[in-house]
Structure formats: C-alpha cells, structure tokens
Amino acid sequence: MRLGTYRSLGAACLGAVVLAACASTPPDEDPVQIKLKDLDTRLARVERVVTNQSSVDISNQLEALRADVRSMHNDVDQLSNSLEAVRKQQRDMYADLDQRMKLIEARGGGAASAAGASAGAAAGLTASAAAGVPAPAAGDQGGDDKASYQTAFNLLKDGQYERAIAAFQSFLAAFPTSSLADNGQYWLGEAYYVTKAYPEALAAFQRVVDKYPQSRKLPDALLKIGYCRYEMKQWDAAKSTLAQVASQYADTPAGRLAQQRLEKMAAEKH
C-alpha cells in the first residue's frame, strides 16, 4: 500500500474521532454552548438595566406631574379660601345688626311697639320731646348732623327703639339734605321693623327707595320692603319685591337673603 493512501486513511480516522468526541461532549461542557449562555446572560442583564432605567425615568416624570398638580390644588384652595373670606366678611357686615336686633327682639318680646308713633316729620319732633331727645327747630341746618345721626344710631344699638325712632325723625326733620339722610331714613325703618310696626317700617323703607334712588342702602331697603310685606301676609307683593332684589342684586348679601326668603316662602307654599 502506498504512503499517500495511509495518510488519507489516518486523516479520515482522526476526523471521525474528533467528530465522535464533539458528539459525545455534554452541552454543559461545550464551549460554544457556554459562550452562547454567557451572551444570553449578559443580554438579559442589559435588558433589565434598560428596563429599570426606563421605569425610573417614568416614575420620576409621574412624581413631577403629581407635584405640579398638588401645587395647583394648593393655589386653588388658597384662592377659594380668600374669596370665601371676603364673601363671609360682606355677609357678616350686613347681617350683624339684623342678628343683634333679632336677639334683642327675642329678649324684649317686642313689648315696646312703635305702632303709635307717627311717621310724619312734625310728629317726629313731638315724639322727640316726649322721649327726652333734643329736637332742633325744623329747617335748622346749623347743628351737627353727624352728631344728631350718631345719637339716634346709638339709641338704636342700645335697644331704645322708641327713643331711636324719635331721634331719627328729629334728625331727618332738622337735616333733610344731610349726606347721612338716606342712612337715617333706612335705620328709622329698621327701628320700626324690630318693634314689629310693619306698616310704619314699610313706609320708611319705601321712602328710601323713592327719595334716595342712588343710595347704597337701596338694595337693603328693597329687601326689608319684601320682609315687611311677608310679615303683613301680602304674599304676592312680597314675592315680587324679593324676586326683584334677588335678580338685580344677586351678588350682594341683600340678594342672597332675598333668595333665601323666596325659598322659605316656597317651602311654606305661599
């Protein structure tokens, strides 16, 4: 046999042995398999890192958005609280005297009624003298209108209603052109109202509307006209006046009180 033939046979046998060895090598010891597993492990690690980083970024962005929303809620709450504080102050300013009068009325029971007091200016001067309130001569503009007005108002606050009525009548007779005349006319109506002299109160409040149409007391006077008509059981007239106040002065304490009284009347089926 030739040398070349021996070499060919040897090479074939070696290849067969190598193949047999590779075929018989377990996967756990196969370098190729080991390399592939290593690559898979590293790839999985990279994917986890990328995934975790994306989650962190998204989480951070969500937290930032939540912080912005919380900040906006805080701003809205602060604005709402400020607005409500202003509204409450307005309601308190208006309702303060009315509440105080109701307490005094409940305490006194309305025994001291001003029904016998005259609404006219001349009768007011007579009542002033009877009640012990100094009454200046009619048309006398030389006195202090502010002092006269304050005297009457203090009597009203103190619950001395008959004297307050007389004092306000005296003030209006003495100082008909005073800048406080519309206020004096309004509080005269309040003094009548708290003593349940509703016809006299109605006339006093109506005079505010007729004589002082530009007065800041106009919404309050209209409201009390509605109240007087309610107390006098003039249901249709009361609803008409209160509806006017609720519509024209909706954003004021008078408008809100008018709406409340209308709702009360509806509940009472008037």
Query: CA torsion angle for 230, 235, 237, 243 (degrees, to 10)?
Result: 80
Residue 181 and residue 159 in contact, taking contact as beta carbons nearer than 8 Å: no
Rounded CA separation 252/217 (Å): 12
Q: Position of tokens 């309050």?
A: 220
Say what the pLDDT of residue 69 is: 62
Over residues 69-80, the pLDDT tens digits come to 665 656 656 665
User: DSSP assignment of 93-133, as one string?
Assistant: HHHHHHHHHHHHHHHHTT-S--TTS--SHHHHHHHHHHHT-
Q: pTM for this structure?
A: 0.53
Measured N-to-C along each axis, helices 235-248 and 218-231 cross at an angle, to the nearest 10 degrees, of: 160
Residue 110 and residue 196 in contact, taking contact as beta carbons nearer than 8 Å: yes
Say what the pLDDT of residue 168 is: 97
Instruction: Give 252's DSSP letter.
Output: S
Q: What angle do CA 128, 134, 136 make, to 5 degrees?
A: 95
Most confident of 44-48, 91-95, 213-217: 213-217
Say what the pLDDT of residue 62 is: 72
> How many CB atoms lie under 10 A from the CB of residue 245?
27
Res 57 pLDDT > 50: yes
Over residues 127-152, the pLDDT tens digits come to 444 444 444 434 444 469 999 999 99
pLDDT band at 103 (very low <50, low <70, confident <90, very high): low
Least Cα distance to 125 among 171, 81, 89, 86 occurs for 171
3-state secondary structure of 137: coil
User: What would the mean pLDDT of 163-184 be, rounded to a whole number?
Assistant: 96
